[in-house]
Every structure is written in C-alpha cells, then in structure tokens.
Amino acid sequence: MLLKKLGFTVGILCASICTSGVASADDKDFLAAREAYRISDLPALAEYSTKLQGDLFGVYADYYLLSRQLDKVDPIAVITFLQKYPDTWLAEKLRGEWLLLLAKRQDWTNYRHFYNGLLRPEPEHKCYNYTARIKTDDKTAAEEARTEFWFNTKDLPTPCDELLLLLQQTNVLTQDDYLLRFRLAVQNGNTALARILAGKLGIDVPPKLIEQMAKNPQKYLTRPDVETAIGHELYLAALHRYVRQDLNQALTYWQSVQKRFNSEDRPYGWRLLALTAVKKQDIRAVDWFKLSEGTYWPDEDREWAIRSAIRVQQWDAVLAFINRLSADKQQERVWKYWRARSMEGNAEKAKIVQAIYNGLAVDDDYYGLLARDRLGNRISNQPKTYAVTEQDKQLSNQNVGLQRALALYTLDLRTEAVREWNWSLRNADDKLLLAAAEQAANVRWYDRAIYAADRTKQLHSYSLRYLTPYKEITRGYAQELGVDPAWVYGLIRQESRFITNAKSTVGAGGLMQLMPTTAQWVANRLKIPYHAGMVNEVGMNVRLGTYYIGHVFQQLGNQPVLATAGYNAGPSRARQWQASTPLPVDVYTETIPFLETRDYVKKVMTNAVHYGLGFEQGSQSITERMGKVIPAR
C-alpha cells in the first residue's frame, strides 16, 4: 500500500511542512540551515525548518530536514512535501531521492506511483522504472526497455546493468539481439558481460583470449581465426580496436579476409573502417559506408555516413543516407538543410528545395541563416522587440521560484540559483521569459538573462538575447586590435555567457575562456607582466582573448571559420580539417569531426550575425561572414 507505515513517526517534520505562505527570507537563518544540512545536524535543521516557515527559503529548510532522514520517514511526509511545494525544483529533487530509496527497498509498486510525477528522470530512474514495471507484470515494459537500453553502448549506471540482466530472464530478446550485444561487449573489452552473453549463445569464450585481443589487436589480426562464430567476433573486435591505430594497415588485414565473412558481418567490418575514416576525414569513408548495408545500423552511424558524403560532395549519396535515417531524425533541421542542399542541382526538385529553405528561414538560427543565403535573402533586421510591460514585471515578481533564484544569486549560491531559475522557466510563456530576462540583466546575471530570452517563440527581445555588457572595453580592444567586435561578442557569448569568473573543466577561464598558457603567451607578446588572476579581470581577459583570436585569424590565412574552429580546438586541428581543394564553408563546418567544435562554430557565427545587425553593420550573410575555406598548404 502506498501509505503503508514504515515504523517511523513524522513528528515535527509534518508539523513544519504542513504550513505555507511566503515572506522575505532571513539570509542568516537560511545559511545556518544550509550549514546544518551539510553537517547533518538534525536538531538544528528541525529548529530552522520551524523558524523559516513562510520564508522564501522555507522550502529549503523543509527539504534539508526531510532529505537528511529520508530513510526513516513515512511516505506521508514525502507526499506532504510534494503537495506543499508542487512544481518546484526541490520537489523534483526529493522525488528522485525517494525513488532511489524505494528501488533499494524493491518497493516496486510505490516506485511506479512516485515515478509518474518525475518530470526529468535520470537514466537510473528510467532503468529502475522499467524494472518496477517488469516486476509488477507490465506486459509492454520489457520490449520498451529492450528498445531503449539493450543496444546502448554508453556507460550506464548500475541500475541499468541490472535491468539488462533482468531482460535476459524475459522472452523479448532474440538470438540476434544477444549476438549484437555480445559483439558490442567484446569490442568494448567487457569480458564479464561477454561471457554471460556467450553462454546464452552457446559460445565458449576463454576470458584470456578477449584480454589478449584487447591488449594486442594487431597480433590477432595477423593470425586470424575466422572459421568459427567466436573467431568472427574476436576478429571484428580486434579490427575495431586496431583501425584507430593504423587505418591503412587495418584495411589491408580486412581485405585479405573479408570474403570469408557472411552477408551480415562483412558490412559491419566495412563500417568499422568507415567510422574511423570519416573522423579522419578520409575520402574513402563514403565508399566504405556504402558497403555497410545489411546489418544493424544506428542513426548515430548513419549521421557519420551523411557527413562522409557531404565532405566529398557526393550529393546523391548524401540524399540516400538521409533517407535511411529514422523518421524523427529526418525532421531535424540539420538534415532538412542538407536534404535541400543535396537536391539543389536537380531542376525537377527545385520547388521542394525552395520549400525546405523557406521553412528553415522562418527561424534565424544557424540553418535558418544558411537557408536565407541559399535563397539569396540576406538578413537585414532582427524581429521587432517586445517591450516588457509593468504587468509582465509583476508576474515575474510574483513567481516565487524566480525570486528565490535571484535571492540565491545575490548570496553567490550559483548552482542552486541556476537550477531554480531554469526550473521555474521550463513552461514559461514569452512574456514571462522576457520579464525574467530583463530582471536578470538588471542585476548583471547575464547568462540567465540570455537563457530566458533565447527561449521565446513569438515575442522577442534581441537586445536581451544578444546582450552587450562591457561594451566600452570590448569594442575598444576590438577596434585597437583590428578585430570585428561582432565576432568577439559572438565568441564571448558562446564561451562564457558573460560570466566573468567562468572556468572550464580543462582550466580555461574568464569571459573569453583563456587557457593559462595561452594567456601567458599573449601577455608576453604584449609585454604585459603576467599573473594567474589576469584571466578573471574583465578588461585584461578581453584584451588577451581579442589579441589571440586576431593572431589565430592571421595564422590561418584570414579565414574566419577556421579561426573560430581554431580558437576552440587549436589552430593545428583547424588546419588539419582543411582539404586539398577549396571547400564550401558549410561543408567544412558540418564535417568538423569534433562535435563540440562543430557546434561551437555554428553558434559563434550565428551570434556574430546577430551582433553585426545590432551594431548596425548592415545586412548580414552568415556564409560571407564565415568566409572561404581555401585548400590546405
């Protein structure tokens, strides 16, 4: 039963949670409650939970108390909290914690009940939910779990591994399912899983053989056993590993044995070569992908196939590969654009091409701007700005979540503030989004102002979407160093969203996300005494970053798109991604093999177009702004 007693009383917990109302929070009491939570001081938490009732931070005090004794409370206490604070980020967070506890207890009936209210489940919640459904005789759960997780090769949390074991006790998995999962396990070096699956397939797999293959794949390729089923799998696993070390030698090995593989395994071998080749921008990749039909082929691999054909501008192949994507994938803007691009030379399809471009050009994102260029329509102005009204401001002021986020921001509790802000705006309409954006901009919380303004659908404010803080500094250094200020702002918006002390996982810092070694190098060039704190000084960060992007621009032949890619991934890589012949700039960008850099270039250049309009630089063409990509020297 959902409300079955667990042997604990709620006591002061329920007494404090059952009242409501909002007033201004006492920051000292809230911060003290936060510290009590950190050190698990339950008596203090109980005191602050009572004391902060009705305050803006009352939800935190109640959450702190409940979360710290979640394994001892009655479900009524959880339900009471969820009902008292509906639609809050902390309600979602507590529900997720409660679900993990129910899973630990294997209380699958209650798990399913509480899971229904979880709005953004993590993978572990999803896997536990499938387990709960299977355990409670949901007839469709196993098949759905198979579709979502059985072929997933990414690192998954333990609950998902447990789900996969549970699936093997059902009747939804076919022999082919086991074989493909076994293949993926062998290639990833997961010996334990490979042995389990081999047992299901009736294959004897000596663990040491897999380990030896993983350590020295070339040795296995030189003395292949391709007469048995396990021999085939180990060979493909060795090929999978070795092809990344030496593509040409791997090709030689494969060509010597590929005819001894069946009609399903042979295409798979060619695809292993193709997937490495396309990431090395080897022009042979497209032909190898063409040999890859006839076996399991996920959309992710097909997207690489499309890019291999884009790179060599084999437009018939581009279209053919797009047509083999799943229906949902084909509707993504990227593949709509490339569908139209691949049909441009076909007079019979001219109307289809124009219709696709017209549909894309309604929006002004990267593909919308490219579509405008293909139609010959430069963008000359931004949408009319919506002026936030007093009524809009009042709605924002009355939104408890937004005001709590702003209060957390003033206390420099950025993590909690961002989560509150994002959660509170997840279903907001355009007017609330713009009122919130304006309020954030007014307190210099620029990244959240952009976050809000970026989400509008019909009413827009591009002055909020493309904010220009630190204008005198940024435009001053851009003019001094001869760099387009719209481009500089486009970089900063993408790099840091104007967070002055932003720091990346690799150590880059400040508005323009400079690595310490880069900052020191530029400082030396400019004859400025270097110290570590320079990257977080607004003026110095912009000066050093603007100089560096200008230097990269000159180093890479005055090609903006190469310089942008080089700023993110390094100039040498940007140069490696050139071809021996000129490339259309959209082709170069789409075939950048690093997802992060590919996305970065698209966004920076889109930003620069809009900043160019805002700076009254005249009508804009993203293709012209990105420049040409000349042959590699």
Tell me the pLDDT tens digit for each residue of 277-288: 999 999 999 999
pLDDT of residue 213: 79
Distance from chain centroid for Cα 489: 23
pLDDT of residue 326: 95
Note whether 159 and 212 are within 8 A (CB).
Answer: no
Band (pLDDT 50/70/90 cuts) for residue 227 is: confident
The domain locations on the chain are 12-143, 172-338, 390-460, 471-626
pLDDT of residue 129: 98
For 502-517, what is the mean pLDDT?
92
Band (pLDDT 50/70/90 cuts) for residue 188 is: confident
Residue 248 DSSP SS3 = helix
For 526-554, what is the mean pLDDT?
95
- Taking 50 as the threshold, does the pLDDT of residue 8 lie above it? no
**297-301 long-range contacts, CB within 8 A, separation 24+:** 297/271, 297/324, 298/151, 299/325, 299/326, 299/329, 301/271, 301/275
pLDDT of residue 186: 76
pLDDT of residue 152: 83
CA distance 401 to 260: 64
Say what the pTM is. 0.92
- Taking 70 as the threshold, does the pLDDT of residue 234 lie above it? yes
For 396-419, what is the mean pLDDT?
97
- Taking 70 as the threshold, does the pLDDT of residue 15 lie above it? no
Q: Which residues are within 8 A (CB) of 574 and not within 5 positions of it... i.e. 6 or more apart?
A: 556, 562, 563, 565, 566
pLDDT of residue 26: 62
For 2-7, what is the mean pLDDT?
37
- Taking 50 as the threshold, does the pLDDT of residue 180 lie above it? yes
* 82-132 tens-digit pLDDT: 999 999 999 999 999 999 999 999 999 999 999 999 999 999 999 999 999
pLDDT of residue 619: 97
- Which of 49-53, 501-505, 582-586 has the weakest average pLDDT? 501-505
- Please provide the DSSP assignment of 416-485 as one string: HHHHHHHHHTTT--HHHHHHHHHHHHHTT-HHHHHHHHTT-SSSB-HHHHT--TTHHHHHHHHHHHT--H
Residue 145 corresponds to which tokens in the numbers above?
Answer: 């779990």
Residue 229 class from Cβ within 10 Å (0-12 exposed, 13-18 middle, 19+ buried)? middle
Q: Is the dihedral of CA 39, 45, 51, 53 positive or negative?
A: positive
- Taking 90 as the threshold, does the pLDDT of residue 344 lie above it? yes
Band (pLDDT 50/70/90 cuts) for residue 505 is: confident
Q: What would you report as the CA-atom Rg of the chain, rounded to the nearest whole angstrom?
A: 29
Note whether 439 and 461 are within 8 A (CB).
Answer: no
For 493-505, what is the mean pLDDT?
93
- Taking 60 as the threshold, does the pLDDT of residue 11 lie above it? no
| C-alpha distance from residue 563 to each of 46, 555, 560, 601, 629 (Å) | 57, 8, 5, 9, 11
CA distance 245 to 229: 25
Count the helices and strands in the chain (H runs, E runs).
Answer: 39, 0
CA distance 122 to 119: 10
Residue 378 DSSP SS3 = coil
For 591-608, what is the mean pLDDT?
98
CA distance 214 to 273: 17
Q: Is 233 a catalytic residue?
A: no
For 173-191, what is the mean pLDDT?
83
Band (pLDDT 50/70/90 cuts) for residue 214 is: confident
Q: Class of the 471-626 domain?
A: mainly alpha
pLDDT of residue 17: 46
Residue 121 class from Cβ within 10 Å (0-12 exposed, 13-18 middle, 19+ buried)? middle
Strand partners, 503: 509
- Taking 60 as the threshold, does the pLDDT of residue 9 lie above it? no
pLDDT of residue 5: 34
Note whether 444 and 412 are within 8 A (CB).
Answer: no
- Taking 70 as the threshold, does the pLDDT of residue 325 lie above it? yes
- Please provide the DSSP assignment of 489-555 as one string: HHHHHHHTTT-TT-B-TTS-BTTTTB-HHHHHHHHHHTT----GGGGGSHHHHHHHHHHHHHHHHHH
- Taking 50 as the threshold, does the pLDDT of residue 420 lie above it? yes
Catalytic residue among 495, 596, 616, 624: 495
pLDDT of residue 231: 81
* C-alpha triplet 539, 613, 569: angle, nearest 5°: 55
Q: Which residue has the higher pLDDT, 213 or 38?
A: 38
Strand partners, 485: none
DSSP state of 146: I
* 347-356 tens-digit pLDDT: 999 999 999 9
Instruction: Indicate the fold that domain 390-460 takes in CATH.
Output: 1.10.1240
Q: Which residues are within 8 A (CB) of 247 and not within 5 positions of it... i.e. 6 or more apart?
A: 273, 276, 277, 280, 282
The highest-confidence range among 173-182, 250-259, 289-298, by mean pLDDT, is: 250-259
CA distance 55 to 26: 7
Band (pLDDT 50/70/90 cuts) for residue 564 is: very high
The CATH number of the structural domain formed by 172-338 is 1.25.20.10
CA distance 517 to 573: 18
